[in-house]
Structure 1
Amino acid sequence: MMERLRRVFDVSGRVSRLGFWRFQVVQALAAAVIWCLTMFATMAGGWLGLAPLLLIVPIVAAAIYVGIRRLHDRNRSGWWILPFSIGPYLLLGTAHLFGDLGSLGVLAGLPLSLGGVALAVWSWIELGFRRGTSGPNRFGPPPASNRAWLATA
């Protein structure tokens, strides 16, 4: 168990598509449980009930690490995680600011909105659906998709 947890927070090596999707399912379930706990705790204890929401921080960190290893499987630098994870929010947030300027602002923000959506879709396809490089690459040997929980090498 500790070995699996240590591997989640490691950026070296590669993770297969199967391992990536397994992590996504576990991450989504954990986030849903934390969200429900936070809602009930907030109803019971007011704003102090937001404390369970702090448990999201390690989940987001683990998602970044697994995403980096998935990029390694695609033979891409882990730095690609920055535009994939932050870029859509920056573009869509900036487009939203333009929307406050009226109809002309909405029109001006439209390319930013479309760019944010396109970047989000591209990252989803790149990380979740494209095949990794066959054989070893500069980030290590290929992951064994039928082995452990995260299918790591």
Structure 2
Amino acid sequence: MTVLDATMELLHTLFAGVWAGWALFVAALVVPAARDGRLGAEALDWLTGRYAQFSTLAAVVLFATGGHLAGTRYEVESLTGTGRGHLVLAMVALWFALAGLSHVGRSRLSDALDRENASDAAAGVAPIFYAAGVVAVGLLLVAGLL
């Protein structure tokens, strides 16, 4: 393994783990706390805003590092014709889903916070963030299988 390959794998694993963990944190703690009135609008907006910023960064880093790793470890036939390749493709699909859910959830929450209190806004977008949490768990499971 070259230094470049090791660096790509390290960055990929680090950003993937932090992103999945943060998605779970938002789904399991931040949104429920806001929904129950324990977290105000300013804190909710700040936390989910930082989460959305990191989600964007993570998506870019994972695209670059994952592309490098896939390009050096797999051929088209091995991605489409093996169980391990199918897991890699499943992971790519789940990353797209997490990116989409993260940004849709944040966008809708931001819009709702302009009209509603934090509790009502969080309740309205909770299913989106819960789905992101489920996708993050799926990603961790697929990563474990790989």
TM-score, scaled relative to structure 2: 0.42
The structure that has the greater radius of gyration is: 1
**Which one scores higher on RCO, CA 8 angstroms, separation ≥ 6?**
2
Higher helix share: 2
TM-score, scaled relative to structure 1: 0.40
